[in-house]
Structure 1
Amino acid sequence: MERLSLTPFGSQPVSAGLLATQALADAKSNVTSVEKWTLFRDLCTARATFSVSDRDLTVLAALLSFLPDDDLEDGRPLIVFPSNKSLSQRAHGMAESTLRRHLAALVRAGLVLRQDSPNGKRYARRDASGTLRQAFGFDLRPLLVAAQSINDAADATRQAETERRVLKEACTLRLRDATKLREYGSDVQPHAANWDHLDDVLRLLQRRLRRKLENADLAEIKDKLAGILDTVRAVFDTAETEKMSGKDAENERHHHNSKTEAIKYEQESAKPVDQQCHTTMPLSLIRKACGDLTVFGGSEIRTYPDIIRNAERVVGMLGIRSDIWGYACAQMGPTDAAITVGFILEKADEIQSPAAYLRALTQKSKYGRFSTGPLVMSLLNRANSMAA
């Protein structure tokens, strides 16, 4: 339709934004047709990018509802001309003064364009056959022109939201592990570290996580929690090393391996294993919690690779197929998968289907909702309650 005027009705001045919106409405569209409600949902997702509020979008939805076609199609009339009363009814009874404010916001955002009549009213002119010849109201063509930008912004927003959710889940799991390890450490090794200071740090991080944070802030918290877990693990491992240091000679006397066997063991330990330790749990706690893994695995657990080798020896005994075990290693990381197998071995009397149980935990790990910390801590708590 031909535009008869570029200037707004009444006392409203011409602005650079108005002229830019006029140019956008006249620009060539990258898409010839788009489903209006799909585009609207994308705009709702990316509304921060276009600086519009949820109330602005309520008014835009009301405007779209007056367009008889489901698609915004280039070359077809895209001007709607409802009265303020009709528009207010479809905007859930919004007051006319509020309605005008949100309509102005949509125009400023370049999403709709006013087509003012000589007297400022909204109406349409038709010929004798009833064909629409001229309409004065709100032109929705800027939406069609901006469709690709809206879609791209929505995709970027969804991706950022997915990343934020993954980061938040990782922070929550690490915070839970660190908190439980601090509680356990303050009970069994009260003088090994400044547990009160660690408690203060964790509470501050927990308070920050209650707010809605940007991805960069969540990544920072995740790194801080990783550092805390490394520190806690080092405290436990150091304490365990000091505890065992006085028994080294005795331990050596109990091992009557030949020189050839010792060399073989050293070579196996030196092999590059595709099992980098991604677990947050200290080795000493894993060894204490998963005692059956040492018994049935056939070798003493001294390093993280030992946990994996022992787990590989017992998965068949538990009825876990190699493909299920391999998938668990791929999703969790070999170390966490081995710890999970150790937990299943400890609970073998209670778990009816170890393979199904491992597969379920692997799926949770795939979506970032799994940590080995609670498994290990539950075994330790059970051992402490039995000892008491």
Structure 2
Amino acid sequence: MEYTPISPFMRPISLAHMRVVQQPEAAAPGKPVSKWELLRELSKAQATFGISERDLTVLQGLLSFFPDDALGRNADMVIFPSNKAICERLNGMPCSTMRRHIARLVDAGLLMRRDSPNGKRYVRKHGEERVAFGFDLSPLYRRSEEVARAAEAVREAEERVRRLREVVSLMRRDLASLAEFGEELQPSLGLWDQLRDKAVLTARALRRKLTLEELSAYREDLEARLDQARDIIDGPETEEMITNDAHYERRLHNSNKETIDLEPALEKGGPAAGAPHIERDTSVAGGEEAETKRLPKIPLHLVIAGCPSLKTFYQGEVRHWHQLYSAASHVRPAMGISASAWEEAQRFMGPEQASIVVVAMLERFAEIRSPGGYLRALTTKAAAGEFSCGPMIMALISRRDAA
């Protein structure tokens, strides 16, 4: 064609239109680009180019009129469908809506109008020369590399958000666990309720789609609170409290003539050697007293440290008391402890202390001839108020350190 028009038919020319027309042909990638792959990349980077999903729908309809699967194989990339054909291809979209979205694509520099003198869209051939008036897709082709870079930048940003979201979720979980663990060590400290509330609020916030800046703010806040919790849990006050409890348990243990660690009648004999009969109180008051829960005076992490054999026989995670109870219930049948002995131990010791006793017995399983009788004897002591599981764990830790 001898002349390429730059003004649209019966529409004012705009700066956006001028920029599209003045782009040099050298900016083209130089190789064919799949039109559908280009559309997918543009869909990922649509915010960068200021277009919407509806604009992309119209562009998809226009691309369907281009006969080749790739742009750039031919120099002529002008399509000339009528408004009626375009609207039919767009599932009956109103013509006014279609024109509005095409105008947005033109303003974004992804499409250019090649209007004929009368505004009609058509193609005319003069010998081998072909002249087409309609919508020129060459701006989209020339910007294909820019579209690909923008789409990759969006993917990288989404990956950063995804990774940061995972970090915040893990930190929230750790904060809730530290709050529960800290309350076991220092139950009178009000900080643990604040940390639990923060973990719950963070979990609710993660249900929404948070930006990178919002996630970064949550991470900084959680880091500060995690450091605060660790300072208190690992601080000198907590160590002194644990040490004092251990010393108190040892004094109570040493003051009892029938120590828990040295029970030759039970470990070398059998269940009948030293296990007195437990009279079951069926009265209401006695039942309530027997069912009173005796919480352990020793932190869970010391129990796990003193009983490493548990990991061999139980593959589950043990970070909370209910998980220790599940582990004890799992290994109890293999140790030869009957269900009645297990239930009786839970009744007079509480589920947590009974679980500690079972895992401690597992650590010394080779030394105990009758685990069921041994557990019943300790249950008798617990019923009389003469039993605490702390010395068992501290003795195991001392024996392990001495080994």
Quickly name the TM-score band, shorter chain normalised: 0.5 to 0.7
Structure 1 residues 132-141 or 102-111, which shifts more? 132-141
Q: 1:219 to 1:154 in 2, by over 3 A?
A: same
- Residues 31 and 144 in structure 1, CA contact (< 8 A), matched pair in contact too: no
Aligned 1:221-240 pairs, distance under 5 A: 221-238=218-235, 240=238
2:74 & 2:58 partners in 1: Cα distance?
A: 24
Q: Which residue of 2 aligns with 1:125?
A: 124
Per-residue CA deviation, residues 346-370 of structure 1 (Å, 9 max, x unaligned), is: 343244xxxxx9xxxxxxxxxxxxx
Q: 1:82 to 1:225 in 2, by over 3 A?
A: same
Q: Which residue of 2 aligns with 1:71?
A: 70
Aligned length: 282
- Residues 25 and 145 in structure 1, CA contact (< 8 A), matched pair in contact too: no
- Report SS of the residue matched to 2:48: coil
Q: Which residue of 2 aligns with 1:311?
A: none
Output the amino acid matched with 1:221: Y
- Residues 33 and 71 in structure 2, CA contact (< 8 A), matched pair in contact too: yes
- Report SS of the residue matched to 2:171: helix
Q: Which residue of 2 aligns with 1:213?
A: 210
Percent identity over the alignment is 39
2:245 & 2:299 partners in 1: Cα distance?
A: 19
- Residues 36 and 64 in structure 1, CA contact (< 8 A), matched pair in contact too: yes
1:189 partnered with 2:186: yes
Output the amino acid matched with 2:71: L
Q: 2:168 aligns with which of 149, 171, 190?
A: 171
- Residues 175 and 196 in structure 2, CA contact (< 8 A), matched pair in contact too: no
Output the amino acid matched with 2:19: A
Q: Which residue of 2 aligns with 1:376?
A: 319
2:159 & 2:136 partners in 1: Cα distance?
A: 34
Q: TM-score, normalised by structure 2?
A: 0.62
- Residues 193 and 235 in structure 1, CA contact (< 8 A), matched pair in contact too: no
1:138 & 1:7 partners in 2: Cα distance?
A: 13
- In the TM superposition, residue 25 of structure 1 has moved relative to its aligned partner by 6.7
2:185 & 2:84 partners in 1: Cα distance?
A: 72
- In the TM superposition, residue 183 of structure 1 has moved relative to its aligned partner by 4.2
1:111 & 1:6 partners in 2: Cα distance?
A: 15
Aligned 1:262-341 pairs, distance under 5 A: 287-288=301-302, 290-291=304-305, 294=306, 296=308
Q: TM-score, normalised by structure 1?
A: 0.64
- Residues 171 and 218 in structure 1, CA contact (< 8 A), matched pair in contact too: yes
Per-residue CA deviation, residues 10-50 of structure 1 (Å, 9 max, x unaligned), is: 1x211211100111375531333211111111111111111
Q: Which residue of 1 aligns with 2:158?
A: 161
- Is there any run of 5+ residues in structure 2 with no aligned partner, and where? 249-297, 329-349, 355-403
1:29 & 1:295 partners in 2: Cα distance?
A: 70
1:144 & 1:2 partners in 2: Cα distance?
A: 23
2:303 & 2:227 partners in 1: Cα distance?
A: 19
Output the amino acid matched with 2:227: D
1:39 partnered with 2:3: no
1:346 & 1:90 partners in 2: Cα distance?
A: 67
- Is there any run of 5+ residues in structure 1 with no aligned partner, and where? 251-283, 297-344, 352-356, 358-373
- Residues 185 and 238 in structure 2, CA contact (< 8 A), matched pair in contact too: no
Q: Which residue of 2 aligns with 1:244?
A: 242
1:103 partnered with 2:102: yes
Q: 1:285 to 1:186 in 2, by over 3 A?
A: closer
Q: 1:381 to 1:43 in 2, by over 3 A?
A: farther
1:285 & 1:97 partners in 2: Cα distance?
A: 72
- Report SS of the residue matched to 1:133: strand
Q: 1:387 aligns with which of 320, 345, 353?
A: 353
Q: 1:289 to 1:170 in 2, by over 3 A?
A: farther
- In the TM superposition, residue 146 of structure 1 has moved relative to its aligned partner by 0.5
Q: Which residue of 2 aligns with 1:9?
A: 9
- In the TM superposition, residue 181 of structure 1 has moved relative to its aligned partner by 3.2
- Report SS of the residue matched to 1:288: helix
Q: 1:127 to 1:148 in 2, by over 3 A?
A: same
- Residues 8 and 116 in structure 1, CA contact (< 8 A), matched pair in contact too: yes
2:118 & 2:303 partners in 1: Cα distance?
A: 82
Q: Which residue of 2 aligns with 1:338?
A: none
Rg (Cα) greater in structure: 2
Q: 1:346 to 1:170 in 2, by over 3 A?
A: farther
1:136 & 1:160 partners in 2: Cα distance?
A: 40
Q: Which residue of 1 aligns with 2:294?
A: none
1:152 partnered with 2:149: yes
Q: 1:132 to 1:346 in 2, by over 3 A?
A: farther
1:99 & 1:74 partners in 2: Cα distance?
A: 28
- In the TM superposition, residue 74 of structure 1 has moved relative to its aligned partner by 5.7
- In the TM superposition, residue 139 of structure 1 has moved relative to its aligned partner by 0.5
- Report SS of the residue matched to 2:67: coil
1:289 & 1:54 partners in 2: Cα distance?
A: 58
- Report SS of the residue matched to 1:136: strand
CA RMSD of aligned residues (A): 3.1
- Residues 110 and 137 in structure 2, CA contact (< 8 A), matched pair in contact too: yes
- Residues 192 and 235 in structure 1, CA contact (< 8 A), matched pair in contact too: no
